[in-house]
Structure 1
Amino acid sequence: MSVARSSTTDACQNLKRAKVAAQLVIGFSDEDKMGTIQPHDDALVITLRIGGYDVKRVMVDQGSAMEIMYPDLYKGLGLKPQDLTPYNSPLASFEGKAVTPKVQICLPVQTSSEVVEVDFVVVDVYSPYMAIVARPWLHALGAVSSTLHQKVKYPSEGQVYEIRGDQSIAHRCLVAAIQHEPKAEHSSGAEKGL
């Protein structure tokens, strides 16, 4: 009889877990568009706490498989070459050029009470963004993003939290990218102390 009770108890606990999980369905509706300018085709640009600092101009790219940090953020965080580890796999830049970053760093990224350790590859090329967070961050957080709704939603402490995008910053980043005149840029951070 004790085996049957234990199975029943396990089944009840699994049912309770299933009910809690069912309550935390993450989705988007027309109400999530409130406060956004519609229609639009803006990138999802948010502010995140990275390495203990609030960092603006962070693009969420669910199509990318790795997180990127650009020189402005590297310098702004006061990172030093000894904080970095070697990295040598090629990436394709926005312009379609092959870029081979030389270094990476693992930093905490905080959203409310959740902290996820993220491996950022440091890329020494121009970008209007400070960083790009991608699928590894989204998956570790259990998050779902929507450029249409300009939000990232994620479960934490039995609730669904959200991070709102900033369309005005997304517009400024787009204008900066269009106006940028490419110079002779290096993919190696060695010349600039990265």
Structure 2
Amino acid sequence: MEARLALSFSNEDKVGTIQPHDDALVITLKIEKYDMKWVMVDQGSGVEIMYLDLYKGLNLRPEDLTTYDSSLVSFDGKVVISKGQIRLSVQAGSKVMEVNFIVVNAYSPYTAMVARPWLHTLGVSFLHLISEGEISIWGSD
């Protein structure tokens, strides 16, 4: 019987990748019962982000949002004004948790971004996973 962490990768996942790598970690997560591809894991960020296209794609309404007043800074250093915050169910492996996403209207090749708060709630330590050989980088379809 094999016990795998909720967010882990085997050697089979490395097939087709170039090693060593410095690619972004892009995964598929179940958000509100939908498999969402192109979710970026950003260990350097302190908030989870959902881009407006995904928000609209989930048929969420403006009245579903709560106020989020802090300013955000994008990858290119520009201030991004949020549309608000929403708490949604996210599943990684067999673990389901509620996540507060900040909704922004900004361009991104990703659908959403999960960060340190999500990783800590999930109980994932990337340093541990890397040292144990449980994680490697892979691209999403």
**TM-score, with structure 2 as normaliser:** 0.80
Alignment correspondent of 2:139: 167
Q: Distance in 1 between matches of 2:42 and 2:12?
A: 19
What are the ranges of 5 or more consecutive residues in structure 1 without an aligned counterpart? 1-23, 154-161, 170-194
Alignment correspondent of 2:125: 144
Alignment correspondent of 1:188: none
**SS state at 2:53 partner:** helix
1:165 positional shift: 5.3
Q: Distance in 2 between matches of 1:61 and 1:111?
A: 16
Alignment correspondent of 1:75: 56
Alignment correspondent of 2:70: 89
AA in 1 matched with 2:22 = D
When residues 107 and 40 of structure 1 are mapped into structure 2, their CA distance, relative to the original with a 3 A threshold, is same
Q: Distance in 2 between matches of 1:165 and 1:52?
A: 25
Of 64, 84, 104, which aligns to 1:123?
104
Q: Distance in 1 between matches of 2:82 and 2:108?
A: 14
Q: What RMSD in Å do the two structures reach over aligned CA positions?
A: 2.8
Percentage of pairs with the same residue: 58
What are the ranges of 5 or more consecutive residues in structure 2 without an aligned counterpart? none
Whichever of the two has the greater Rg, that structure is 1
Q: Which has the higher contact order (CA 8 A, sep 6+)?
A: 2
AA in 2 matched with 1:78 = N
User: Higher helix share goes to which structure?
Assistant: 1
Q: Distance in 2 between matches of 1:168 and 1:132?
A: 14
